[in-house]
Chains A and B, each alone.
Chain A
């Protein structure tokens, strides 16, 4: 009798165990957090602890690899449930148009993402439906060696004219004023966005991005001329810009050989290791103009249409975008999530805190390349290199950009 009851108990335990196993969901997530993978692992671990029925299987890839394989993977039915991917029309837009992503309108309507800034929805809305949840607020600024500035008696400029004066002073002191590595071509996107937002009236720039205003406008030519011709000719950039890699330019700044660098807030994490105090300012507009730092979203999370684990995927996204979990993003990954974050209780660097405060208080401009089509970006990529090399004038480059829009 005792044996029978033990047998029954064992059978019951086995059945219960099999029941638990049957409910266990394996959620496949592909993301691109290669450099901050430990932080994301910690966040996933916390999610799994709070959701023991979900087992998240992360696959971390470089952005280039992700771009190369995601289409094929989703087309062949071997893709993930959740993917972290570029939000632009040339990337997620293509997948959405092909029906490979799941619309999230109902998910948004459920209130799970109420904390997320509403404007971010626009960046992943295609054909009237919202397909993703944007993430990683970023802006481009001028980061400078505060110790060197203090030593030379310089202060952060408030007009573009003052910025040129500061550059001249650094050059006179034997320091490269602005580190700029454009071997890959895309770093010039950031510099152009910095200048375009300050040299072109915002409504006009919006119209250009929307395709209703010509890029051949004098303000565009002036922006290209100022950054890629005049700065170069004045010796305010390091030599051989087109031959210097983006990482090498960062080394130039981090090693103290350059006084300033124009880059995105994603570099703040890297600047923590410099031997000097790093501060930032927004590239100021010419006197009388409005300073508008280019800002935008990095990538965003999407649920694939082939996913059989939609409920688990939505719980995962709810966790990621819960302000209560902001510390994972901010402290461990130096990523600024798309909702209000109270930094008073977080351990963040002064530079990151300053950045987050600016994002919540200042009017922002546009990161142009994340809003424009691939053909336009290719024209910018090749053309700015040509302008820097002296093979093309600013006016010719503006005309080429307009021609690519016309195509």
Chain B
């Protein structure tokens, strides 16, 4: 009797899950498999794709533009993860420590997160504008006119200028998520550490951080994966220029597929992005597993 009830529940569960599964299959599963197939073909977007075996994957090794873009992604992932997570953690702890106006600050910090990356890109494009932008105008006003350059037009600064924008827009997310994680920190442990003579830095490092490690890990993984897939803000602000100086793998993929009409190789590049994201996710899951094992 009990067995048949369980079977009935499982059947009901199956029917509840089915619609979501079908949507997932149609909008994710099928395109993903199709992309894998396309990555082994040469296709200009019309007509029939021609199977080329591993040709596109072999082309990757000699594609210097792809490696340069990947290098930019690595810079993006490292700086774009360390800076917002570190600053976000410090601000979150400050807000958590009974700071006056905590809710107001959290709201202010979170505001950029709700803005579209396209809007953010346009606004910061104006800020960086070499002719009438706020940044150069301010630099000139305080006597630093020599530093007033075309931030998005110089090979040396374009990537970092976009990165600053991305960090600004992402910082609020880190603060809010880490602040939520801090709610699980046991204040008695912090208090006990204080009584034992631990200073603020020691309490932060040895008491607070270990307790929010799962949340911290989640934020880092999310940021790393986002770093390998970044597209919109780069595309809006520089389109990967000048001379590919701010090209990342996603913008390069777009140019190859949709401007160069090389959909097959574009699919191969998107597989590279997927693999990088999967590796990052796998490393994170291993880290989380070891965290949980340690507890």
Contacts and interface: CB of A to CB of B under 8 A. Distances in A.
B241 A239 contact: no
Contacts of B130: 239-240, 243-244
Contact of A75 (B46, B125, B129): B46
B259 A386 contact: no
A248 interface: yes
Given A252-B131, A382-B243, A389 B261 contact: no
B62 interface: no
A281 B154 CA distance: 32
Contacts of B261: 90, 94, 374
Interface string B252-274: 00010011110000000000000
A278 interface: no
Contacts of A244: 129-131, 150, 153
Interface string A220-260: 00000000000000000011111111001000100000000
A391 B259 contact: no
A392 B155 CA distance: 12
B128 interface: yes
A145 interface: no
Nearest to B260: A374
Contacts of A98: 44, 46-47
B152 A183 contact: yes
A391 B46 contact: no
Given A240-B149, A378-B259, A391-B155, A248 B131 contact: yes
Interface in A79-115: 90, 94-95, 97-100
B242 interface: yes
Give the interface size bracket for A toward B.
35 or more
B109 interface: no
A109 to B, nearest CB: 27
B244 A382 contact: yes
Nearest to A240: B150
B45 interface: yes
Nearest to B45: A71
Given A252-B131, A374-B259, A386 B152 contact: no
B169 interface: no
Given A71-B46, A385-B243, A243 B258 contact: no
B83 to A, nearest CB: 23
A95 to B, nearest CB: 6
B129 A95 contact: no
Given A94-B46, A243-B153, A374-B261, A382 B241 contact: yes
A14 interface: no
Contacts of A241: 150, 153
Contacts, number: 94
Main secondary structure of the interface of A (DSSP, over half): helix
A375 B260 contact: yes
B154 A185 contact: no
Nearest to A183: B153
A394 B251 CA distance: 27
B239 interface: yes
Nearest to B237: A183
A244 B154 CA distance: 11
Contact of B45 (A94, A378, A382, A392): A94
A243 B239 contact: no
Contacts of A184: 239, 241
Given A94-B261, A239-B150, A389 B46 contact: no
A238 to B, nearest CB: 7
Contacts of A243: 128-130, 149-154, 242
Contacts of A245: 125
Interface in B191-236: none
A166 B263 CA distance: 48
B241 to A, nearest CB: 6
A300 interface: no
B280 to A, nearest CB: 29
Most chain B C-beta atoms within 10 Å of own C-beta, residue among A68, A239, A389: A389
Contacts of B150: 239-244
A391 B244 CA distance: 12
B243 to A, nearest CB: 4
A284 interface: no
Contacts of B241: 183-185, 242, 382, 385
A148 B124 CA distance: 33
B117 to A, nearest CB: 17
Contacts of B255: 378
Contact of A385 (B46, B128, B242): B242
A302 B131 CA distance: 41
Contact of A386 (B45, B128, B129, B243): B243
Contacts of B259: 67, 374, 378
23 contacts: A67-B258, A72-B45, A98-B44, A98-B47, A183-B153, A183-B238, A185-B241, A240-B154, A241-B150, A241-B153, A242-B242, A243-B129, A243-B150, A243-B151, A244-B131, A245-B125, A248-B129, A374-B261, A385-B242, A386-B155, A386-B242, A389-B154, A391-B243
Interface of B: 44-47, 125, 128-131, 149-155, 238-239, 241-244, 255, 258-261
Which are the 3 A-B pairs with shortest beta-carbon distances?
A243-B153, A240-B150, A243-B150
Given A240-B149, A243-B128, A243-B149, 10 more contacts: A75-B46, A183-B152, A239-B130, A243-B242, A244-B129, A244-B130, A245-B125, A248-B129, A385-B243, A389-B153
